[in-house]
A and B are shown apart, each in its own frame.
Chain A
Amino acid sequence: MEFTYYHPKNIQSLVTTLSGLQNYALLAGGTDLLVKMKEKLLQPMPQAVVDINEIGKLQEITESEGYLWIGPAVSHTALTKSVLVNEKAVVLAEAAGQIGSPQIRNKGTVGGNICNASPAADTVPALLALDAMVEISDQSGRRHVALSEVFKGPGRTCLLPGQFISQIRLRTIQHNEGAAFLKFGKRKALAIAMINAAVWLKIANGIIDDVRIAFGSVAPTPIRLYELETWLIGKSANHGVFAQAGVKASQMIKPIDDIRCTADYRKRLAQIIIFRSLVTALGRAQGRCGCE
Chain B
Amino acid sequence: MSKEVICFILNGQKMEIEVEPSLLLIDMLRNRLGLTGTKMGCGEGECGACTVLLDGKTVNSCLILARQVEGHEVLTVEGLGTYDKLHPLQDAFIAEGAVQCGFCTPGMLLSAKSLLDENPQPTRNQIAKHISGNLCRCTGYVKIINAIEKVAKSD
CA distance A115 to B111 in the complex (A): 29
A35 adjacent to B63 (CB under 8 Å):
yes
Interface centre among A5, A38, A51 (most CB of B within 10 A): A5
Instruction: Give the shortest distance, in Å, between B148 (CB) and chain A (any CB).
Output: 14
B132 adjacent to A190 (CB under 8 Å):
yes
Taking CB atoms, residues of chain B closer than 8 Å to A190 are: 46, 132-133
A102 adjacent to B64 (CB under 8 Å):
no
A34 adjacent to B63 (CB under 8 Å):
yes
> What's the tally of chain B residues with a CB closer than 8 Å to chain A?
29
Taking CB atoms, residues of chain A closer than 8 Å to B58 are: 102-103, 106
Taking CB atoms, residues of chain B closer than 8 Å to A3 are: 1, 21-22
Instruction: Give the shortest distance, in Å, between A291 (CB) and chain B (any CB).
Output: 16
Known A2-B1, A35-B45: A104·B133 in contact at CB below 8 Å: yes
CA distance A190 to B129 in the complex (A): 11
Taking CB atoms, residues of chain A closer than 8 Å to B4 are: 5
Known A4-B1, A4-B2, A190-B133: A100·B22 in contact at CB below 8 Å: no
Taking CB atoms, residues of chain B closer than 8 Å to A101 are: 45, 48, 132-134
CA distance A62 to B107 in the complex (A): 35
A49 adjacent to B21 (CB under 8 Å):
yes
Q: Which residue of A has the minimal Cβ distance to B135?
A: A190
A103 adjacent to B1 (CB under 8 Å):
no
Instruction: Give the shortest distance, in Å, between A90 (CB) and chain B (any CB).
Output: 18
Known A2-B1, A30-B64: A35·B44 in contact at CB below 8 Å: yes
- As a 0/1 sequence over residues 19 to 46 of chain B, the CB contacts with chain A under 8 angstroms (1 = contact) are 0011010000000000000000001111
CA distance A189 to B136 in the complex (A): 13
Interface membership of B90, Cβ < 8 A: no
Taking CB atoms, residues of chain B closer than 8 Å to A167 are: none
Using a CB–CB distance below 8 Å, which chain B residues touch chain A? 1-2, 4, 21-22, 24, 43-46, 48, 51, 54, 57-60, 62-65, 67-68, 111, 129-130, 132-134
Using a CB–CB distance below 8 Å, which chain A residues touch chain B? 1-5, 7, 27, 30-31, 34-35, 38-39, 49, 51, 53, 77, 100-104, 106-107, 188-190
User: Can you pick out 28 interface pairs between chain A and chain B where the beta carbons lie within 8 Å of each other?
Assistant: A2-B1, A4-B21, A27-B65, A31-B60, A31-B63, A35-B43, A35-B63, A38-B44, A51-B68, A53-B68, A77-B57, A100-B133, A101-B45, A101-B133, A101-B134, A102-B58, A102-B130, A103-B45, A103-B48, A103-B58, A104-B45, A106-B57, A106-B58, A107-B59, A107-B60, A107-B64, A188-B132, A190-B133
